[in-house]
Amino acid sequence: MTRQHMFIQRGFSLLEVLVAFTILTITLGVLLNIFSLAIRTTQSAQQQQKAMLLAESKLTELYAGTTLQPGREQGWFDDHYWWETRVEEFDTRELMDNQSLLLPYRLSVVVGWGIHDRHYQLTTLRLVRQEAR
């Protein structure tokens, strides 16, 4: 072996380096998209969970009221979540006889948030004595 062959260093060619950077860039792009999607999904789940808790709280307020009056109310919990309640007499002519002392009301609570009109709705029935109306 000659002295020149002993000191030859073998490195990466420019093409190999470019291919490696391209693969790295694509991989990092895919990973960032996956992490971004995971964060958005987590935030969406948290927002929906908070809306559900706020709707249940508002429905509990309706239950706690002494008398139910048919109507609709709206308001805001904060800058991000709004609410709407509806109280309606429930038509029971087909289900019950009209001699019953109980009158059913349909209670609905909608809690919404965000700019994309996302919302969560709870609806239930509550029986009220007719003389307590």
Run of H or E residues at 123 = strand 118-129
Please report whether residue 7 resides in a domain: no
Please report whether residue 3 resides in a domain: no
User: What's the domain count of the chain?
Assistant: 1
Please report whether residue 79 resides in a domain: yes
Kindly give, in sequence order, each residue whose CB lies less than 8 Å from that of residue 104, ignoring residues fewer than 6 positions away: 89, 90, 92, 125, 126, 127, 128
**What's residue 93's pLDDT?**
64
- Report pTM: 0.67
Please report whether residue 33 resides in a domain: yes
Give residue 132's pLDDT band: very low, low, confident or very high (50, 70, 90): very low
Please report whether residue 4 resides in a domain: no
| Boundaries of domain holding 64 | 14-129
Please report whether residue 9 resides in a domain: no
**What's residue 133's pLDDT?**
46
pLDDT in tens, 37-76: 999 999 999 999 999 999 999 999 888 876 788 899 999 9
Give the DSSP letter string of 54-114. Answer: HHHHHHHHHHHSSS---EEEEEESSSSEEEEEEEEE---TTTS-TT-SEEEEEEEEEEEET
User: Residue 88 sits in a domain of what CATH number?
Assistant: 3.30.1300.30
